[in-house]
């Protein structure tokens, strides 16, 4: 019987166990550059089979929150190299999550104070995180976006390609995860609630998925499918994401992804950070059919699940074949040695929510290891 502690191969990446550290925004990279705190933070958690970094912007335009890291400037790549070298020295494996937030941004975070970009000029009913002049953090309503011209889209695809190449060849990551979930740019193109376009990128499911597949093809061409994962959230309402009929949309996505030889598919089940049974539309989402659409199209990548998993639920998911890996978020924030705690039945630290976003070492690297 397969267990959480069994080694595994994810595409081209050999991992020590079935634990993944989920991507977790922590807002502690001033000027979009990771610090020595990031080195310590990720190295403390290197016993995870796979670390997925916090969302990392592919361009200045892709930034949507204060003090989140980037992958587009030499100083950022050099800083990330310190992280990957340290994690590898501890025997860990680490990929970075490539992020373009689209409309989930604020004019103060955009180059020249310009409007954020989106498939359509529809403001997200959501908030972003800003840093005040005195250094304190605050949440603010997102700014009204402008609709991307079709002629601009190839440049964003190239931003993804460049970021993937830089991540692996310069920053030393084992691979990348495309953030196509939680109402950010790729997800905005997928969903009819945020995509009202009438050109080749809007309307039909085939058109709304076009941008996603262009990005996937670009990064796979650049670094190989065995080093590419993708995160999807079929029914989450996060960041005002909505579609009245997600089942055919995401089965089409899954079938298309099955042809690229990807390392893994990372699925958020239900509402991100909330109700696992959440649904959009009239019917509950059929995750088994979603997975089957991927497998039937030839997809061999690991199936990674996320959202509200505790040890019991995770063990059942892996032993039953529902999933190959399980991603843990808040549990890894509070328990850098989560793998050991699960294996030895040790009590868990409780996460301190007030320190999730912004700040310094407190709430980032000061959670104790088990004695």
As a whole number, mean pLDDT of residues 173-187 equals 98
DSSP-assigned letter for residue 70: B
Residue 230: which residues within 8 A CB-CB, separation 6 or more?
177, 178, 180, 216, 257, 262, 264, 265, 266
pLDDT over 90 at 58, yes or no: yes
CB count within 10 Å of CB 277 equals: 11
Range 8-355 has CATH code 3.20.20.70: yes
Give the span between the Cα atoms of 367 and 350, in whole angstroms. 9
The CA dihedral of 203, 207, 208, 209, to the nearest 10 degrees, is 160
pLDDT digits (tens, 9 = 90+) for 312-368: 999 999 999 999 999 999 999 999 999 999 999 999 999 999 999 999 999 999 999
pLDDT over 90 at 152, yes or no: yes
pLDDT digits (tens, 9 = 90+) for 250-308: 999 999 999 999 999 999 999 999 999 999 989 999 999 999 999 999 999 999 999 99
Q: Residue 1 burial (CB < 10 Å; 0-12/13-18/19+)?
A: exposed
As a whole number, mean pLDDT of residues 184-204 equals 98
The mean predicted confidence, pLDDT, of the chain is 97
- Whether the model pTM is above 0.85: yes
Q: Any idea which residues carry the catalytic annotation? A: 184
Joined tokens for residue 128: 């972003």
Confidence band for 40, pLDDT divided at 50, 70 and 90: very high
Q: What is the pLDDT of residue 145?
A: 98
pLDDT over 90 at 134, yes or no: no
Joined tokens for residue 70: 């980037």
């Amino acid at each position: 019987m397969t267990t959480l502690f069994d080694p595994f191969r994810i595409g081209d990446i050999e991992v020590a166990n079935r634990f993944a550290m989920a991507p977790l925004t922590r807002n502690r990279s001033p000027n979009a550059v990771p610090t020595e705190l990031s080195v310590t933070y990720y190295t403390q958690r290197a016993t995870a089979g796979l670390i997925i970094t916090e969302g990392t912007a592919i361009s200045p335009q892709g930034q949507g929150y204060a003090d989140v890291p980037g992958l587009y400037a030499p100083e950022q790549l050099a800083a990330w190299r310190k992280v990957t070298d340290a994690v590898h020295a501890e025997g860990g494996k680490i990929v970075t999550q490539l992020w373009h937030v689209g409309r989930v941004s604020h004019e103060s975070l955009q180059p020249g104070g310009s409007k954020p970009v989106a498939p359509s000029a529809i403001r997200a009913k959501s908030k972003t995180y800003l840093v005040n002049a005195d250094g304190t953090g605050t949440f603010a309503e997102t700014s009204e976006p402008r609709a991307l011209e079709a002629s601009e889209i190839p440049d964003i695809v190239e931003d993804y390609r460049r970021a993937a190449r830089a991540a692996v060849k310069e920053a030393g990551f084992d691979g990348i995860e495309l953030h196509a979930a939680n109402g950010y740019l790729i997800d905005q193109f997928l969903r009819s609630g945020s995509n009202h376009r009438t050109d080749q990128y809007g309307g039909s499911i085939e058109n709304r998925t076009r941008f996603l597949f262009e990005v996937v093809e670009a990064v796979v061409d650049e670094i190989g499918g065995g080093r590419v994962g993708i995160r999807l959230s079929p029914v989450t309402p996060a960041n005002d994401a909505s579609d009245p009929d997600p089942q055919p949309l995401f089965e089409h996505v899954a079938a298309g992804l099955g042809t690229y030889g990807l390392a893994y598919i990372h699925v958020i089940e239900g509402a991100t950070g909330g109700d696992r049974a959440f649904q959009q539309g009239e019917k509950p989402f059929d995750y088994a059919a979603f997975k089957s659409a991927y497998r039937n199209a030839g997809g061999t990548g690991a199936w990674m699940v996320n959202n509200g998993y505790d040890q019991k639920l995770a063990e059942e998911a892996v032993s039953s074949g529902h999933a190959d890996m399980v991603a843990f978020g808040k549990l890894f924030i509070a328990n850098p040695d989560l793998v050991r705690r699960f294996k030895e039945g040790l009590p868990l630290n409780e996460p301190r929510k007030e320190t999730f976003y912004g700040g310094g070492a407190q709430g980032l690297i000061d959670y104790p290891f088990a004695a």
